[in-house]
Amino acid sequence: MLWGYTIICALALYIRSEVLGVAERQVDDGCADLTNTTWQQYRQRTELQVRYLLLTRNNLECARAFRQESLSKTQLPPDFNTSLMSKVIVHGYRAMGSKPSWVMELAQDLLRVEDVNVLIVDWVYGASFAYNLVVESYKEVSVQISVLINQLQKQGSKLESFHFIGISLGAHVAGFVGTLFEGKIGRITALDPAGPMFKKADTFDRLDPSDAKFVDAIHTDSDYFGISIPVGHIDFFVNGGNDQTGCARSRFASMYSYVICDHMRALHVYMSALKGSCALTALPCTSYEDFLMGKCVDCNVFKGTCPTIGLSENSGITVSPVPKEQKVFLTTTSSAPFCAHHILLELDVAPLDKSAEMGLTLVKGNQKVEKRLRLQTDTTVYRTVLAHQAPLCEIDSIALRNTGARFYRQANVHVRSVCLSQLPRCETPLCVNKFDVRRGAPWLHDFVQVCN
């Protein structure tokens, strides 16, 4: 019962624009925005209503709205250029009917990166009802979108020129559009695809790699609102795909931070990647635990090129054929631009008579990343991945501290070697050999490295 109440509160917050910290867009005369569904319309909902907003570099600040049925068989939407790629944004469940405030910002970010058509699918009216009923009717939205795509195709657009970007439930809407076109559309990017009612669904009823020539997914809330299984050719599991850094874990935090923050992180990470301040690079691995333990250090499955989030040439790996349902993992910082460099630390110590605890710190100016390792008597080699805002070549120093215990005396730890390497590993690790770390006294080593 308590969980049901939490879900209701979370969904109510989900539809409010302020939860995303993005100001509502002011609409000038003649410029269109997504619709809001009033409470009366919500109660009287009888059928889906799908309309489209078009933005191009010619009307970057002023969207043009149209409906498919308003176009003649030989007519194109105003400003639509069939020779360009087309990005199709599909929002997800809207609970009580308010428009998603992030859509215009995402569209404009896409246009700043590429000269494309950006089509926004406005199905707020159909997405604003009980979740189970919306899920039952989402395929009808896909059918209506496919009618428009068919018309654009007849006017000169190619199926492979369409790139769908679906958020939450919108990812499965995009997936079914791909099913209707037998996987011939160019690409689908899924931002934390919805999990409830889809985790055990047949591939016909949910997004899967056969829905487009290339499908990539970003998972950030796979234990609640997102889906936990791979659904694309490449599935990015950010911070393991569950709890995101910077999202509050306390129930006393705001409802957004406690419930919705993880789910919406996929969108914010993607938008940050489009802004291009740094690369969000991931490594293939069997699990997040193995990734953090340093068991996955290269991208050989992709012939050495690691996948990155966004629209860069590495975001759609060119290896042919692209492995299906390939899990890749990355860590991020707690706020934009979210970029973190993965640094593998390998520690080799002499055998211990009793367990010990070692504190590790990587320092770059005032940026410090700390990690604690529990040293056991039956193990001498330890590997762990640290995430730092600076690349290894810019790290100033590494500090090790034998933290010991409060109630008994712990012997010094003899370190045979400590090595650092940037992941994916492509160069010889930086190593320091043979030194002792005394209890309570830090051992410090300065690096003199300059990035090329």
Positions annotated as catalytic residues are 168, 192, 263
Enter the tokens of residue 401. Answer: 């501290």
Give dist(CA 110, CA 105) in Å, integer: 9
| Beta strand 117-122 pairing with 86-90 | parallel
Q: How far is CA 356 from the centre of its chain?
A: 37
105 phi-psi bin (left φ>0, alpha ψ -120 to 50, beta other):
alpha
Angle at 71 (CA atoms; ends 67, 73), nearest 5 degrees: 140
C-beta separation of 163 from 173 below 8 A: no
C-alpha Rg value of the chain to the nearest Å: 25
What is the 8-class DSSP label of residue 154? H
Enter the tokens of residue 245. Answer: 């850094």
What are residue 208's phi and psi, to 5 degrees? -155, 170
Residues in Cβ contact with 81 at an 8 Å cutoff, skipping those fewer than 6 apart? 56, 117
